[in-house]
Structure 1
Amino acid sequence: MTTSIEKNFEATEVPPWQQQLTLRAFVVSFLLSILFTFIVMKLNLTTGIIPSLNISAGLLGFFFVKCWTKLLEKSGFLKQPFTRQENTVIQTCIVASSGIAFSGGAASYVLGMSERIANLGEKAYLLDTKNPSLGWMIGFLFVVSFIGLFSVVPLRKIMIIDFKLTYPSGTATAHLINSFHTPEGAIIAKKKVKVLGKFFSFSFLWGFFQWFFTGGDDCGFASFPTFGLKAYKQKFYFDFSATYVGVGMICSHLTNISLLLGAILSWGVMWPLIGTRKGRWYDASLSDNSLHGLQGYKIFIAIAIILGDGLYNFAKVSLRSMVGLYLEYKKKNSGAILPCTDRDSTEVSPDQLFDDQRRTQYFLKDSIPNWAAVAGYVAIAVIAIAVLPHIIHQLKWYHVVILYIVAPPLAFCNAYGCGLTDWSLASTYGKLAIFIIGGWAGASHGGIVAGLAACGVMMNIVSTASDLTQDFKTGYMTLASPRSMFVSQIIGTAMGCVLSPCVFWIFYKAFPNLGLPESRYPAPYASLYRNIALLGVEGLSSLPKNCVTLCIIFFFGAIVINGLKDFLGKKYARFIPIPMAMAIPFYIGGYFAIDMCVGSLILFLWQYKNKAEADAFSPAVASGLICGDGIWTLPSSILALAGINPPICMKFVPR
């Protein structure tokens, strides 16, 4: 039996790039983009943890088009068979569109500009705001979301063929798509789709059932005091969320345990202890939401951990990138393999050589002219420099010029680092932009909004750049043309620029307390990002007593823990928690961490019983749980907008 993937498809004709871009592919992509945008937006508005949805997109894309083609086949109208290249186009379009729900920042920096979030913090900066509006959000995204695509197009050959970067998520998605389109893989895919459909239905109906009991504040299964009322008050309870059980099955066991440890450390130990210092460390008359009180410790210690972790990973990835580049150019051999891919020590088999040659041939066949990429970048930059200051007046034209000058090398660094580690540092680059542009503009000239807008510009550039190179890797391994990948990415990005603000707007109008700590959609990153901007323009003087000392301890603690993980190696690193994951519950509590640990426990027991079955079908189960609960948010939001309230309030009170 051959180990070559491409020999399985040798007799199958590869369609030209124009035929890979079919109408049915984009219709399916649009429908699934709506679903995935709701999922990503809901995750953003609750905890901000977004798992990789590439495999789910590939699986659902395969399912929808297979249904479509079967229908057309029976009616005699099927003109073109469903190929793995078309499957890749669908996956690329969906991921590009739903990616804007994250990098578009509706639930982070955009909401952070609003009066609603400003009212939670410093009253002195209530005028330094810009409320969300459908018009300016869509315009802003159209101006900033495409330029990142043009910044890395000239480097596609270097990244994929010369450096042979792995891009783990892109590679895994390509293997999945390739397996679907072999006779054996199609049988397994059919089983996976059945499993996905079963858990999708269960998750949707469970969300529908829960809705009936949520007719008031703190009502329903989502407010069930699983471990008692005292634990519930400290945010420790299981909230019966199918979404986060599913997310827990996708995320690593270490991530889930890290979240739980962070929740125990903060809500179980630190906040009760700091609360006993009320009247000594901070004014006893302050409200719970004041940044000069307990809320200040919650937010700024979390920010310190996130910045420490981000800075360490930024330095590590940048160093690895520079070492890799140095070794590559030192060899002066475009076919050389980077040591960090762990492939230089093994000989390439004839089957692997055949696959590489065939893939390289098709990848280079439909090249995108470099002059077109450069011209596109310059044209969009000129438009952005002219338009962005009119959309957000606090952001000046010279701020935008500086951002677009430094963006291409940062986009390259992010795309390169993502290829090595599968880790996108888009949010880290965005936080750097907040500090630099916010501090430059100053508190008296709208520095908070300017910094948050600069964060949006930078995040969109570096995030879309790494997404595109990830998809180029998938296309390379499925023989999808770079041109069809690029066009699909542009169409998906355009869809996302409209869908993401519209979906956010539905949530924003349906839930008036969205973004507030007590809301079912607290949007934690909105407050975190605004307070990072506040820190940039004001400095550390406004923080409560001992808060700066604790921030410094946790900042360096995050760096030390990361260093320890790298120093000890993989064998022991799996027992050391992830600081970034630990920081997330500091602000919003541990309820979602318990959900995710339940998902992790289900996967662990399943793997213990039958590892092969668990590895094959757990992504389908997780995708079904996430998608069903995610799509329920659409009818529940429509019911809220229509003023239809649930009939029952299930609530627990002390005896």
Structure 2
Amino acid sequence: MAQNDNEDRVIDHAFEFEQHHEQSSEQQQQPPQKGTRLSSKEDEASVEKVFKHLLVPTWQSQLTLRAFVFLEKSDMLKQPFTRQENTVIQTCVVASSGIAFSGGFGSYLFGMSEHVAKQSSDTSDFKNPKLGWIIAFLFVVSFLGLFSVVPLRKIMVIDFKLTYPSGTATAHLINSFHTPQGAKLAKKQVKLLGKFFSLSFLWGFFQWFYTASDGCGFQAFPSLGLKAFDNRFYFDFSALYIGVGMICPYIINISVLLGGILSWGVMWPLIKTREGHWYKANLGDSDLQGIQGYRVFIAIAMILGDGLYNFVKVLTHTLLGLYNQIGNKRKASALPIADQDSTSSPEADISYDDQRRKQLFIKDQIPRWFAVGGYVAIASISTATLPHIIPQLKWYYILVIYLIAPTLAFCNAYGCGLTDWSLASTYGKLAIFTIGAWAGASHGGVLASLAACGVMMNIVSTASDLMQDFKTGYLTLASPRSMFVSQIIGTAMGCVISPCVFWIFYKAFPDLGTHKSQYPAPYAIVYRNMAILGVQGFGSLPNNCLLLCYIFFGTAIVINLIKDLVGKVGRFIPLPMAMAIPFYLGPYFAIDMCVGSLILFVWETVDKAKADAFAPAVASGLICGDGIWTLPASILALFGVKPPICMKFLSRATNSRVDTFLGN
């Protein structure tokens, strides 16, 4: 799931694959020459021309009391409810709820507890949850990710033109809600968005009835055959990822699918034939000493190779641009005024929407010294504080994590911009093994590695979340400053609210985290077992795993280098970052995304104008409807309401054995 203010355009050629998305989701007519007038059709094609007569509030005005405590009907605030204020609200809410994931209440944090330790092979090292230390821990680790990526926000959103599908979908939703009367196209978009929002929501509700237990429902439909299903090749009827596929550029979806075919179609079946030679036989599918070790660490290697290459490239271009600027004593070009004649602008070749969005996105700068100083200050406080909260986590472990964390935060934010996947848990696993191997079992390595996982996960997760919100703010003209402040406030709220909710569950269910509990927390056990494995070092990984990691790390760098060297042809070369994601997760979601691409392709073939105008609205409706359904589904689960039906699919031979067993 951060910008640099460098104006260098050289890096754009490596990301021309984004152009198709820009044409399909934000295609605009060129600004008119002096003395000409836009036709009504051209006016309708522009989102920002619909809002042109509305004054964009200052960043301070976007941060209203109503935005944070929802006092819309009180008499305290009389000003109109703007799309910028709406963006601030959703940023605050998402930041607050994001702590529920990065806080590790079902994974690393609860994995420290005695409940979970008794179910693992190491019961000597544990730390039971207490509300006080959990809140303190989250407060000192949850803000670093925000400061780590702020200096790169312009490059990620404007120069790289990363899509951030969820952020883009949210922006379309917000813009649709605030469209002034009289915008015919926008009204049609709102109507279409609402229709597909309802369809997606109802489809999620319908699917719920068939998911009475694990392995049930439409998401377990072996649409490509049982053998393919065993290797995670199937269409799971997810409206969310069909929508994501309609927003992501074609090359992203193709890259993800190719990665799934390479890994689950070729590599993992071949490695399974080496069971008993490269790794022990009869290990569980999630055991990192078995094939899961290859899946996790090869994916990490590719992600790091791609992310580090682009990080170095960005840093190089930034330093070269700064050197040239100082050497030539050039002044930065003046930004165009939104209402100025376009012929006087140096950027008359880009759309009106992009000019206006870029102008306001760059206008309210977040100074580099503030971002760097904030990171250093919080890192210093955290380094001094965390060893008192978790004594096994030494200050020098924390210092090393904070030195490499900005690079990994960039990798995660960049990957999230491409595919909408945040791999925070993957980076957390990397911290588990690194710190666990460093600390060792005799020095509290299990707790140290689990805590290090939490530090890393919070940094990279909040970094990608912030960049998603910056993308939303860019498309709704919300100031980066107001977005950043809202993110800080939301994160602070989450650091209190999420632990309190967890504490209620922890006290209400004495058997929480055990196999017999209504809430067994299986990931907490998995994370603890990974920590136990981690203290034994990377040498405990299966044979040839590190060799394959080195190969794929280098391959990712070579592919990126080729993409940059071949110019425009490079846009047809798959992206290693996107290819790496299904290595770990499986290709099922890639199939959904490619179905979304196919729908968009057919639509553009039949009627490109309508596809350009309405595809983002349809995609946003699919994403938001499916996402909103998770709320009532969670409430039903909380109150113990279970679906009435389990829909499973069996092979003919298995079905015969079941019939024989039942006496039919």
> What whole-Å deviation, never above 9, does each CA across 1:570-603 have from its counterpart, x for those lacking one?
32432x2222332332333322222222122112
Corresponding residue to 1:293 among 290, 295, 298: 290
CA contact (8 A) 1:160 1:473 kept: no
Corresponding residue to 1:594 among 591, 595, 598: 591
2:260 aligned partner: 263
The answer to whether structure 1 residue 278 and structure 2 residue 320 are counterparts is: no
The answer to whether structure 1 residue 569 and structure 2 residue 611 are counterparts is: no
The answer to whether structure 1 residue 89 and structure 2 residue 88 are counterparts is: yes
CA contact (8 A) 1:167 1:421 kept: no
Distance 1:643 1:496 in 2: 25
Distance 2:291 2:414 in 1: 37
> What whole-Å deviation, never above 9, does each CA across 1:502-543 have from its counterpart, x for those lacking one?
89999999999999xxx99997x9979986x78875444223
CA contact (8 A) 1:115 1:131 kept: yes
The answer to whether structure 1 residue 25 and structure 2 residue 67 are counterparts is: yes
Corresponding residue to 1:642 among 628, 639, 642: 639
Q: Structure 1 residue 231: deviation in Å? A: 2.1
Distance 1:642 1:231 in 2: 36
Distance 1:193 1:503 in 2: 35
CA contact (8 A) 2:361 2:480 kept: no
CA contact (8 A) 1:414 1:424 kept: no
The answer to whether structure 1 residue 302 and structure 2 residue 299 are counterparts is: yes
Cα distance change on mapping 1:625 and 1:348 into 2, 3 Å: closer
CA contact (8 A) 1:506 1:637 kept: no
The answer to whether structure 1 residue 204 and structure 2 residue 221 are counterparts is: no
Corresponding residue to 2:223 among 201, 223, 226: 226
Instruction: Give unmatched runs, 5+ long, in structure 2.
Output: 1-36, 336-344, 653-664
Q: Structure 1 residue 107: deviation in Å? A: 7.4
Distance 1:327 1:296 in 2: 46
Cα distance change on mapping 1:190 and 1:117 into 2, 3 Å: farther
Corresponding residue to 2:244 among 218, 243, 247: 247
The answer to whether structure 1 residue 314 and structure 2 residue 314 are counterparts is: no
Matches within 5 A, 1:461-540: 461=459, 484-498=482-496, 538-540=536-538
Distance 2:132 2:472 in 1: 34
Q: Structure 1 residue 199: deviation in Å? A: 1.7
Instruction: Give unmatched runs, 5+ long, in structure 1.
Output: 31-67, 339-345
CA contact (8 A) 1:287 1:293 kept: yes
2:609 aligned partner: 612
CA contact (8 A) 1:415 1:469 kept: no
Matches within 5 A, 1:124-523: 137-147=134-144, 149=146, 186-335=183-332, 347-348=346-347, 363=364, 380-381=378-379, 383-400=381-398, 437-438=435-436, 440-447=438-445, 449-451=447-449, 453-454=451-452, 456-457=454-455, 460-461=458-459, 484-498=482-496
Cα distance change on mapping 1:168 and 1:187 into 2, 3 Å: farther
Distance 1:473 1:234 in 2: 35
Cα distance change on mapping 1:263 and 1:522 into 2, 3 Å: farther
Cα distance change on mapping 1:105 and 1:221 into 2, 3 Å: same
Cα distance change on mapping 1:484 and 1:651 into 2, 3 Å: closer
Distance 1:492 1:83 in 2: 19
Cα distance change on mapping 1:101 and 1:337 into 2, 3 Å: farther
Distance 1:308 1:358 in 2: 33
Distance 2:361 2:214 in 1: 58
Q: Is 175-184 or 221-230 further displaced after alignment? A: 175-184
SS at match of 2:539: coil
Letter in 1 for 2:605: Y
Q: Is 421-430 or 288-297 further displaced after alignment? A: 421-430
CA contact (8 A) 1:224 1:239 kept: yes
Distance 2:86 2:208 in 1: 35
Cα distance change on mapping 1:506 and 1:636 into 2, 3 Å: farther
Q: Structure 1 residue 550: deviation in Å? A: 3.0
Distance 1:219 1:459 in 2: 30
The answer to whether structure 1 residue 554 and structure 2 residue 552 are counterparts is: yes
> What whole-Å deviation, never above 9, does each CA across 1:70-100 have from its counterpart, x for those lacking one?
xx8xx99993223454345345435544665
Normalised to the residue count of structure 2, the TM-score between the two structures is: 0.69
Cα distance change on mapping 1:381 and 1:603 into 2, 3 Å: same
Distance 1:246 1:292 in 2: 36
Cα distance change on mapping 1:23 and 1:247 into 2, 3 Å: same
Normalised to the residue count of structure 1, the TM-score between the two structures is: 0.70
Q: Structure 1 residue 150: deviation in Å? A: 6.0
**What count of residue pairs does the alignment treat as equivalent?**
589
Letter in 2 for 1:573: R
CA contact (8 A) 1:314 1:425 kept: no
> What whole-Å deviation, never above 9, does each CA across 1:391-436 have from its counterpart, x for those lacking one?
43322244445656787x8699889999x99999996987886676
1:62 aligned partner: none
Q: Structure 1 residue 110: deviation in Å? A: 5.1
> What whole-Å deviation, never above 9, does each CA across 1:447-478 have from its counterpart, x for those lacking one?
45434534544564576568768867987897
CA contact (8 A) 1:5 1:355 kept: no
Distance 1:473 1:274 in 2: 40
Q: Structure 1 residue 236: deviation in Å? A: 1.9
Q: Structure 1 residue 374: deviation in Å? A: 8.6
Q: Structure 1 residue 649: deviation in Å? A: 1.9
2:79 aligned partner: 80
Distance 1:422 1:595 in 2: 13
Cα distance change on mapping 1:443 and 1:312 into 2, 3 Å: farther
Q: Structure 1 residue 561: deviation in Å? A: 2.3
CA contact (8 A) 1:249 1:622 kept: yes
Letter in 2 for 1:583: A
The answer to whether structure 1 residue 654 and structure 2 residue 651 are counterparts is: yes
1:58 aligned partner: none
Distance 2:327 2:306 in 1: 31
CA contact (8 A) 1:415 1:462 kept: yes
Cα distance change on mapping 1:228 and 1:552 into 2, 3 Å: same
Q: Structure 1 residue 321: deviation in Å? A: 3.1
CA contact (8 A) 1:318 1:417 kept: no
Distance 2:630 2:243 in 1: 16
Q: Structure 1 residue 135: deviation in Å? A: 6.5
CA contact (8 A) 2:100 2:498 kept: yes
Distance 1:467 1:214 in 2: 30
Q: Is 176-185 or 622-631 further displaced after alignment? A: 176-185
1:61 aligned partner: none
CA contact (8 A) 2:437 2:537 kept: no
Distance 1:504 1:101 in 2: 9
SS at match of 2:195: helix
Q: Structure 1 residue 221: deviation in Å? A: 1.4
Distance 2:422 2:214 in 1: 37
CA-atom RMSD in angstroms: 5.5
Letter in 2 for 1:299: V
Distance 1:594 1:539 in 2: 36
The answer to whether structure 1 residue 580 and structure 2 residue 622 are counterparts is: no
Distance 1:231 1:374 in 2: 49
